[in-house]
Structure 1
Amino acid sequence: MLQLNRSLLEGNFHFPEGLDIGKDSKQLPEKIIQFGEGNFLRAFVDWMVHEMNQKGLFNGRVVVVSPLPAGLIPQLNAQDGLYTLILRGMSQGEAVSREQIIRSISRGIDMYTEWQEFLKCAENPEIEYVVSNTTEAGIVYNPSDRPEDTPPASFPGKLAVYLYHRYQHFAGDPQKGMTILPCELIDRNGDQLKGIILRLAAEWGWPEAFKTWLEEHNRFFNTLVDRVVPGYPKDEIAELTNQLGYKDQLMDTGELFHLWVIEGAEGVQEKLPFVEAGLNVIWTGDMTPYRTRKVRILNGAHTSSVPVAFLYGLETVGEMVEHDVLGRYTREVIFEEIIPSVDLDESMLTEYAQSVLERFENPYIKHYLLSILLNSTSKFKTRVLPSLLNYTKKTGLLPYKLCFSMAALFAVYRGTVEGTVMKCRIGDKDVDMKDDLATLQMMQAAWSECDQSLESVLHLVRRIFAETKVWGQDLNEITGLAEKVGADLYAILQDGVKKAIERSFLNK
């Protein structure tokens, strides 16, 4: 069977009906350098660039570099930057699937073997934009980075060298500054990335003139991205390959929903015509409401409901929202406790919440609960705890379901630390819980002293609540919280989560 590449597109191959192969873009100049070749960026930014190009609005391509060794650059180049993207989900109550070949990537560069080729991109005046997705751990300061490294270990180190090379090549030309759009899921990602690069520039002894050029003529945007991207459909690849009639090592899948919120627009919005192309991109002077909405509702619903659903014996988000008990639980968590706790327009929150539930019901996406459980304590602190605390502050009452979710979370973190994971037995499953090692060790120590009596369980909860490094405060100071979470945890341990949740909520 033939492999997807440019020759296939330019030959006489008969593509299946319904597959959008798009218009040729191989003559378009490279305008974007992208750090990251993974599933998300290819189903998000590169897809957006393709959409703009197909409408004649952007007319530029993306050169991709791998931020880590042993990436997908060889496969990307073998396919001439082409790949099949399948977007699937619910639209007005109907299941929809859209298949297309994305043609926006020009080539890939492995900076670990092609460092000079990477730096040549900095010399190209037409490359004006940087996009990145190097995971939440990508935008970090690495004190061991050096400017002579080829390349430095961290993403900020790599980008710093790239920008300094551009500055030198163009002799500090103010017109050659770049627009940087990081997609990492951390708060104020652009500000954080810029701060690290300035720190490196100071430590590396680069001239003040470069720092001035960086500050005044390069724009680091804070952004928020939102699209579920399951990626390579390994469970379906044989069937899809047979349907398409060709092999694609980089096939990608994502949901229909997409949202990109970019803080700031002046001088850039016109050059990046996302909105004109019909894409759900919001240029705003303040992204805080959008971030709060996403973190508290989408992420918060996941983080608060998933421990309960996992203890219940379910495996995916789809099963959770369709379940008679857990579906009701999830909806009530969102509409009765999370939304009332958020200080934003209620209609804005409700509309978004409805779209979130539709996304949770997507029959094409198997979003496994176990993957959401990774690093759950830090997720609970940022995504759920603000809703719990603000609900209590606004109403003078404890949000019963969010408290129950916290108890379920503690019940999940019951096991033995081996290496960097906690070995847990949940129902009939052996599970490796991954989190900050110190947090896992703290949980193990707390459980080791618990004999499952009510008094002992309450002591365990108070001990965990006192860990200010985990929660950012001593949660024992919240009146009644330890007693409520302790009672719920005791009920889970004594009767199991099914009976505990039924007694607590379903009979009300």
Structure 2
Amino acid sequence: MTRLTPATAPPGTRVRAFGPSAPVGIVHLGIGAFHRAHQAVYTQEADPDGAWGICGVTQRSATVAGHLRPQDGLYTVLQRDADHTRADVVSQVHDVIDGSTETGRLTERLADPRVQVVTLTVTEKGYRPGGAVGRLIDGLQARRRADAGPVTVLSCDNLSGNGEVLSRLVLDHRDDDLAAWAATNVRFPSSMVDRIVPATTPADRDEVARRLGVDDAGLVVAEPFRQWVIEDRFAAARPAWEKAGAELVTDVAPYERRKLRVLNGTHSLLAYLGALAGYPTIAEAVADDSLAGAAWQLIEHDVAPTLAADGLDVTGYGRTVLERFANPALRHRTVQVAMDGTQKLGPRLLGTIRDARAVGHLPRAATLAVAAWMVYVERATTENDLPLDDPQADVLREAVGSSSDLVAALLSLEAVFGADLPEDREFRALLGDLVAQVRAGSIR
């Protein structure tokens, strides 16, 4: 079948320049499915004239570049809920760079004075020396030398205080010239992003081919719901994202905590328990009354009390989250959500546990989610019937294989659990009991 290109795109698709010479105002590090279904959509809706073209940068693989370059950056967002489906072609990506091989071209883009915003979705594991952060530092150093003007660096990853985290990584690089320049010319606002974007399947591609009459290698699938809360602190110009529904606020932190602990925390709980119970998707997992009950207990009894001082509606938000998870059209795979657990447990679940323990509460559902992760790791290691997709996979396998006490072995990973939780006797005892229940399949 004919591939999606400007020549074959549906009527009304905006046609514009694509490639190294195309005008770009935003460089995005980590042009995966989430960015294409979220920030790029907001930007297109806020930028009808195409003045804020995006240069998308791949991280570890050139796959997305191979998908989008032959299509001049065009791709489809297939939006689904239980009753409706729509397919929209997005044309906001004006260039694509393979970050693993085209580092010189990336540095040039970051030093271009026309670029005034850099955004990132590199996942939790991307916030470490080297990788995306190292490429960003190289680009900012080149920008300083070129006197290319101020720039805003906007993290869109699931990290508490993501702007502050990114700022520290950049400014602690021990380059005094860069730090002094950045103090005047760079801002690192925080943001909170939300949209469920499951992995694209061959059936999704077939549906778009039927609807549009073209083959789209860059297709992404998403739910109708979306949210973007942005700290209104910019060093230079930006797209009018608020025209597309983004919320510009003075403090993102309450929204971040609510999303991480309610949505992402229950997502992880359902992913681990669901995968262990044999449910392929989150929608099937939340359709199980016992798993849905555990998710609601996490929201109402564990998370909500820890967020009371933030002044946001937690339980109403939680009901909306569970309704979204139940959307059967998304087919968000449990094992996809289960990946990178060592990076996700802290912001999603352990913060809730620590806050609850500080006031003497023993959070049963949050601890159940940790127990489910432990049993998931054990089963992925010993039975090899579940994928263990984690940057610390080798460390986890060694820990599981070196001890007959699963709880002790995994709690000993200080990078995940710190020094405090392993010393909490009540928490440790409850965790042991819940691990035994999860192993026995008796959480009901």
Please give the TM-score of this superposition, normalised by the length of structure 2: 0.86
Q: Deviations over 1:239-282 (max 9, x none)?
A: 331232112111111122222222233666x742111x232x22
Please give the TM-score of this superposition, normalised by the length of structure 1: 0.76
Q: Which of 291, 294, 306 does residue 271 from structure 2 map onto?
A: 306
8 Å CA contact retained: 1:81, 1:105: yes
Residue 81, structure 1, aligned to residue 73, structure 2: yes
Structure 1 CA distance for aligned equivalents of residues 182 and 209 of structure 2: 47
Structure 2 CA distance for aligned equivalents of residues 313 and 479 of structure 1: 32
Q: CA deviation at 1:133?
A: 2.2
Structure 2 CA distance for aligned equivalents of residues 488 and 68 of structure 1: 37
Partner residue, 1:418:
none
Q: CA deviation at 1:128?
A: 1.5
Equivalent position amino acid for 1:239 in 2: E
Compared with structure 1, are the counterparts of its residues 313 and 232 closer, same or farther at alpha carbon in structure 2 (3 Å cutoff)?
Answer: closer
Partner residue, 1:216:
184
Compared with structure 1, are the counterparts of its residues 365 and 51 closer, same or farther at alpha carbon in structure 2 (3 Å cutoff)?
Answer: same
8 Å CA contact retained: 2:150, 2:235: no
Describe how 1:97-136 pairs up with structure 2 within 5 A: 97-110=85-98, 117-122=105-110, 124-136=112-124
Residue 412, structure 1, aligned to residue 376, structure 2: yes
Q: CA deviation at 1:292?
A: 1.0
Residue 351, structure 1, aligned to residue 324, structure 2: no
Q: Which of 146, 156, 166 does residue 133 from structure 2 map onto?
A: 156
Residue 165, structure 1, aligned to residue 142, structure 2: yes
Structure 2 CA distance for aligned equivalents of residues 347 and 357 of structure 1: 17
Partner residue, 1:323:
288
8 Å CA contact retained: 1:185, 1:224: yes
Partner residue, 2:435:
489
Structure 2 CA distance for aligned equivalents of residues 465 and 156 of structure 1: 29
Structure 2 CA distance for aligned equivalents of residues 399 and 195 of structure 1: 32
Compared with structure 1, are the counterparts of its residues 108 and 339 closer, same or farther at alpha carbon in structure 2 (3 Å cutoff)?
Answer: same
Q: CA deviation at 1:326?
A: 2.0
Where 2:302 maps in the other structure, the secondary structure is helix
Compared with structure 1, are the counterparts of its residues 194 and 51 closer, same or farther at alpha carbon in structure 2 (3 Å cutoff)?
Answer: same
Q: CA deviation at 1:336?
A: 2.8
Equivalent position amino acid for 1:273 in 2: A
What is the root-mean-square deviation in Å for CA atoms of aligned residues? 3.1
Structure 2 CA distance for aligned equivalents of residues 197 and 107 of structure 1: 25
Highest relative contact order (Cα 8 Å, sep 6+), 1 or 2?
2
Q: Which of 289, 297, 303 does residue 262 from structure 2 map onto?
A: 297
Structure 2 CA distance for aligned equivalents of residues 377 and 108 of structure 1: 30
Compared with structure 1, are the counterparts of its residues 106 and 485 closer, same or farther at alpha carbon in structure 2 (3 Å cutoff)?
Answer: closer
8 Å CA contact retained: 1:467, 1:474: no
Partner residue, 1:457:
none
Equivalent position amino acid for 2:114 in 1: E
8 Å CA contact retained: 2:266, 2:298: yes
Q: CA deviation at 1:333?
A: 2.6
Partner residue, 2:46:
52
Q: Which of 187, 192, 206 does residue 165 from structure 2 map onto?
A: 192
Equivalent position amino acid for 2:386 in 1: V
Q: Deviations over 1:282-320 (max 9, x none)?
A: 222222211111111111112234333333332221011
Compared with structure 1, are the counterparts of its residues 200 and 326 closer, same or farther at alpha carbon in structure 2 (3 Å cutoff)?
Answer: closer
Partner residue, 2:386:
431
Q: CA deviation at 1:444?
A: 2.7
Q: Which of 341, 345, 364 does residue 306 from structure 2 map onto?
A: 341
8 Å CA contact retained: 2:270, 2:295: yes
Compared with structure 1, are the counterparts of its residues 120 and 410 closer, same or farther at alpha carbon in structure 2 (3 Å cutoff)?
Answer: closer
Partner residue, 2:7:
7
Compared with structure 1, are the counterparts of its residues 329 and 345 closer, same or farther at alpha carbon in structure 2 (3 Å cutoff)?
Answer: same
The structure with more radius of gyration: 1
- The count of corresponding residues between Structure 1 and Structure 2 is 439
8 Å CA contact retained: 2:396, 2:410: no
Where 1:329 maps in the other structure, the secondary structure is helix
8 Å CA contact retained: 2:124, 2:344: no
Identity among equivalent positions (%) equals: 25
Compared with structure 1, are the counterparts of its residues 315 and 75 closer, same or farther at alpha carbon in structure 2 (3 Å cutoff)?
Answer: closer
Q: Deviations over 1:192-241 (max 9, x none)?
A: 33433344462xxxx73x54222211222222222222243323322331
Q: Which of 211, 226, 232 does residue 194 from structure 2 map onto?
A: 226
Q: CA deviation at 1:406?
A: 3.8
Where 1:236 maps in the other structure, the secondary structure is helix
Q: CA deviation at 1:471?
A: 1.3
Partner residue, 2:352:
387
Q: Which of 141, 151, 154 does residue 181 from structure 1 map onto?
A: 154
Partner residue, 1:62:
54
Residue 244, structure 1, aligned to residue 244, structure 2: no
Which runs of 5 or more residues in structure 1 are unaligned? Answer: 10-14, 143-153, 416-421, 451-459, 503-508
Partner residue, 1:453:
none
